[in-house]
Amino acid sequence: MITIKSEREIELLKKAGNIVYRTHQYLRPHIKPGITTKELDRLAEEFIRSQDATPSFKGYEGFPSATCMSVNDEVVHGFPSDYRLKEGDIISIDIGACYKGYHGDSAWTYPVGKVSPEKESLLKYTEEALFQGLSQVKPRNRIGDIGAKIEEYATLHHLGVVRELVGHGVGTSIHEEPDVPNYGKKNTGPLLKEGMVIAVEPMLNLGRRNVCILDNDWTIVTEDGSPSAHFEHTVAVTKDGYQILTGE
Ligand code: MG
Ligand code: MG
């Protein structure tokens, strides 16, 4: 069931989303060569807890950490580890926070020091793909309009669109209906209505779209080893468009 949130619920979702946003800003200066992804995860968890919130992902279906830290060819669900970031890496950090029972969910991919021009454009185009998708979020449009726009933009820039993982509704659960794919056909899927809250999250690869899963049964990597980027915002559908909840 796709739920419509009340104004009060959207306020709480915005508070949770703002904690996620500020956790990203708090981590930003620490994303440098030499730091381990475990240290970044610890900093994120401390910050989230200092805001009277809890990390949504910790323990979710058995996920071991507060955040997902996915480096280079890791698409999503990377485990924070003793890996030390090095110059030229890219790291996708996915953060969820729960505040008074409501969740916020946002992922961002960061360059570590100076990265190759290819990785730089991957980050630029994936971030833009998120906003291209969001441009379709308004009442009377359909979920398929979002994915169609993202797919069209990614294809234009020769990037692979990951299909195995999708965006989703957000509310008192971190993952609710509906699924929000990053591909699809215009004018298909559920109708968007004011008060729906969804996470839009393109995952784009420099190479082919195919992915596989590591032995830890969680981490998704690109099959061809190409780098992957992930940008995500949780947004509320408004009267005539959308409002970003995982922002300032
Ligand atoms: Mg996320
Ligand atoms: Mg999400």
Query: From the CA of 175, how far away is ligand 1's center (Å)?
Result: 9
Q: Judge whether 1 lies within some domain.
A: no
pLDDT category, 55, cuts 50, 70, 90? very high
- The parent domain of residue 159 ranges over 7-244
107 falls within a domain = yes
Task: Answer yes or no: is 2 within a domain.
Answer: no
Please report whether residue 27 resides in a domain: yes
| pLDDT at 239 (0 to 100) | 98
Q: Which ligand is nearest to the CA of 75?
A: 1
Give the distance (Å) from ligand 1 centre to CA of residue 94.
5
Ligand nearest to the CA of 200: 2
Ligand 2 midpoint to CA 179 (Å) = 10
Tell me the CA–centroid distance for residue 176 and ligand 2, in Å: 10
Q: What is the pTM of this model?
A: 0.98
The answer as to whether 64 is a domain residue is yes
* Domain total in the chain: 1
Confidence band, pLDDT 50/70/90 cuts, at residue 5: very high
Tell me how far CA of residue 81 lies from CA of 39, 57, 70, 225, in angstroms.
8, 16, 10, 19
In a domain, 155, yes or no: yes
Output the pLDDT for position 120: 98
Ligand nearest to the CA of 168: 2
Q: How does pLDDT run across 164-222, given as a tens digit for each residue?
A: 999 999 999 999 999 999 999 999 999 999 999 999 999 999 999 999 999 999 999 99
Indicate which CATH number applies to the domain containing 144: 3.90.230.10
Q: Would residue 83 count as lying in a domain?
A: yes
Return mean pLDDT, the chain: 98
> Within 10 Å of residue 193's Cβ, how many Cβ atoms?
11
pLDDT in tens, 67-96: 999 999 999 999 999 999 999 999 999 999
